[in-house]
Amino acid sequence: MKETVVRLTRSFPVSREKVFAAWTEAQHLSHWFGPRGFTIHSCETDPRPGGSFRLCMRSPQGQDYWVRGVFRELQPPERLVIACTADDEKGVPQLEEVIDVTFAERDGGTELRLHAAARGASPKAARMLEGMQTGWAQTVARLDAHLKPGS
């Protein structure tokens, strides 16, 4: 089974606490998580080690992508590790991903480092893995827009 890894580094002109909250609180995640054009119509989080999260991303074409997982590690506001599964419309797991995010203070703001490793064996998973680099880049860009003052 092929594994795809994405590594991104991005700086934000806000505190680590704000960036960390954007990753762990449903009221923030629902505004930015997912590639450009996607919306979140359902989002629940329980941000504690072993706590669960569940969200549904809706594509611009109206396709729903359910993602569920567990917060493996939370070290507010320094690090977050999430193990998640993307399910198809019937609830069958298609893709498994571990997302490791660190938040470092830099020049009065926050430097975010993302390491995401995913794998899946189905043809649907292969398409998702092919778009993973672009999808994460767009997702983090949406986070940047969400964190801008006035957003």
Give tens-digit pLDDT for 107-138. Answer: 999 999 999 999 998 888 898 899 999 999 99
pLDDT tens for 16-56 read: 999 999 999 999 999 999 999 999 999 999 999 999 999 99
What is the pTM (predicted TM-score) of this model?
A: 0.94
Angle at 61 between CA 39 and CA 33, to 5 degrees: 20
The two structure tokens encoding residue 38? 């996607």
Question: What value does the mean pLDDT of the chain take?
Answer: 95
9-22 average pLDDT score: 97
Annotated domain spans of the chain: 3-147
The answer to whether the beta carbons of residues 129 and 120 sit under 8 Å apart is yes
CATH number of 3-147: 3.30.530.20
d(CA 95, CA 85): 6
